[in-house]
Amino acid sequence: MATHKKNKHILIVDDDPILQAFLKDYLLQHHYQISFSKEGESLEALLKQSPIDLIILDILLPGKDGFYWLSWLQKHHPAIKVIMLSVKNQDDDRIQGLESGALDYLAKPFNPRELLARINNLLQTTSAQNTHITFGEFKFDLQKQQLIKDQQDIKLTHTELVLLTYLCKHSEQLITRDDLSHALRGDTHHPLDRSIDVHINRLRGKIESNPSSPQFIRTIWGKGYQFFT
């Protein structure tokens, strides 16, 4: 698995090593963080390791095909955007992919600039639509960095705002302490930073009606956290 600590995180699920190498170089140049898998069976483990914003999913995979894994993603990770890839260019495949939850479909071979444009459009559209996040009685404005409850401004520290922003942008995904530490401290973060738990508990104290039994920021023991709206 290859990664680049910048911008949005894209997972490419395709068993073609030549295409993987090409897309890695091309998308890294455009400041995307990239991970790879050659088959769908490793999806669950990869999604537990790090939040993913978009998946490029080939239809023809070893074992279960891309349609199976698209359905699995829709059930378990519906917030993740999916672009389907296939050497097939038949209407039935394209329609099946779109009807199954893929937001876009691209037939091989494709112009990499077209793929990049589709990725940019999907992720920019997602960001524009999600400038306001509502959870429970709270409304969080991502652009203004403002948390409102009952028309009252809830005061958050800078650290709490960074954490809440990251949690909102990766809703329902497993988020590790390392992910949160990197969001707070960039490349100076420490992978075993236990102060993250302290910051999370302080944030819970401001948004949870019962912080000891949280509704929004839930602990996944031994792994990290998940945020639910």
Residue range(s) of every CATH 1.10.10.10 domain in the chain: 132-227
Q: Strand ranges (DSSP E) for the chain?
A: 9-13, 33-37, 54-58, 81-86, 104-107, 132-135, 138-141, 146-149, 152-154, 217-220, 224-227
Predicted confidence (pLDDT) at residue 191 exceeds the cutoff of 60: no
Residue range(s) of every CATH 3.40.50.2300 domain in the chain: 9-129
Look up the CATH architecture of domain 132-227. Answer: Orthogonal Bundle (1.10)
pLDDT of residue 212: 92
Predicted confidence (pLDDT) at residue 5 exceeds the cutoff of 70: no
Q: Assess if CATH 3.40.50.2300 describes domain 9-129.
A: yes
Of 142 and 155, the one with more pLDDT = 155
Question: Once rounded to an integer, what is the mean pLDDT over residues 119-125?
Answer: 80
Q: Does the predicted TM-score (pTM) go above 0.85?
A: no
Confidence of residue 192 (pLDDT cuts 50, 70, 90): low
Of 60 and 126, the one with more pLDDT = 60
Question: What is the overall mean pLDDT for the chain?
Answer: 83
Neighbours of 156 (CB within 10 A): 20
Angle between the 195-207 and 158-169 helix axes, to the nearest 10 degrees? 80
Of 8 and 103, the one with more pLDDT = 8
Confidence of residue 213 (pLDDT cuts 50, 70, 90): very high
Question: Once rounded to an integer, what is the mean pLDDT over residues 94-111?
Answer: 77
